[in-house]
Amino acid sequence: MEPLVSTLISLILLLQSVVSVSKQTPSPTPPRPVRNGSLPAVSPDGSRIAFFSNRVGTNDLFVIRPDGSAELQLTNTPENESFAGWSPDSKRILFSIQKADTSTLYSIDVDGKNQHPIATISGRNPVVSPDGRQLLYANGSWTEMRLLLSGLDGANPQQVNDGKSIAWNIHWSSDGKRFAFTGRSDPKSDIAVFVANADGSDVRQISHVPLQEGAGQWPVWTADGRQLAIQVNSRTQKNSAHIWIVDVASGEGRKLAAHNQEYLDETPSWFPDGKRIAFQSDRTGRMEVWIMNVDGTNPRQVTR
């Protein structure tokens, strides 16, 4: 019996060793899905599209022509960057890098040169006004966001909302007199698109998407300020989202490029002539930048 007992003891010790190692060795983190082209932002002159890609690890800033030519990587940092705006002359892109609750705003030329910091603020996701003179950014929790309006250098911040609810995806109107954002009418309501004056006054809900379709978010203005392109993620179809166009005056909306397949059309950005929209989509497998006409026709993949 002694050899058998010895063998059993050895097996028990081996099993304990395996369990111990499995507890000490964390499971490998699954790789992030490649977003080859995402979050497009069309320049004021319509000649370029800024976008982000994590193809090299973290979100870095790229620029490309609408026909898919002249793609150029502008940044290569270990941090994830966020788009903050184009300069009025379309020659520079502004972006931010967040560390904890502090963000640093940078400017970079469209050829990747002359990168330099502009401001450091106590907040996140700053967006630059169309005239390049003001910042609108958020601080607080993700469910109770205070929106702050300041100079481009972050000086003299003034709170422009009550800070009692969400305020995501802030976008300025082209005249700088209003901004649109994703918010809620009350803590229990669905998200929707709201607009407000630059000083935070006259807040009103714009999107009224049918319940079965989903909820509106990510609003972007046309150059004339009459329409918003928004993103609506489906409630009934898994992994499905559409771009909608909403009339600012009436709140009436229409869906573009309707589909029942499991793919996402998201994060719209207008061309200055109001005839085309850039957006991100995974309709061919991975996330890429696309363009379509304002009626949803002629979709074309830009990044590859």
DSSP-derived secondary structure for 65-119: -TTS-S-EE----SSPEEEEEE-TTSSEEEEEEEETTEEEEEEEETTS---EEEE
The confidence score (pLDDT) of residue 32 equals 61
Question: How far apart, in Å, do the first and last CA atoms of the chain sit?
Answer: 68
Contacts of 6 (CB under 8 A, 6+ apart): none
- Give the pLDDT score at 186: 87
> By the 8 A CB rule, do 22 and 42 touch?
no
Instruction: Give pLDDT, residue 303.
Output: 98
Position 222 in a domain:
yes
Q: Which CATH number do you get for residue 85? A: 2.120.10.30
pLDDT value of residue 152: 95
Structure tokens that stand for 62 in this block: 């790229």
H-helix segments, 146-263: none
CA distance 219 to 178: 12
152 in a structural domain: yes
The answer to whether residue 200 sits within a structural domain is yes
CA distance 172 to 202: 15
248, part of any domain: yes
- What's residue 101's pLDDT? 87
Q: What is the pLDDT of residue 14?
A: 43
Report CA torsion sign: 269, 105, 38, 63.
positive
161 lies in a domain?
yes
Q: Which two tokens stand for residue 265?
A: 């059309």
**pLDDT recorded at residue 31:** 55
- State pLDDT tens for residues 234-286: 988 889 999 999 999 999 999 999 999 999 999 999 999 999 999 999 999 99
pLDDT under 70: residue ranges of the chain: 1-32
Give how many domains the chain has, as a whole number: 1
The pLDDT value recorded for residue 20 is: 40
Q: What is the pLDDT of residue 288?
A: 98
Residue-level pLDDT at 188: 85
Domain residues for the domain of 153 are: 32-299
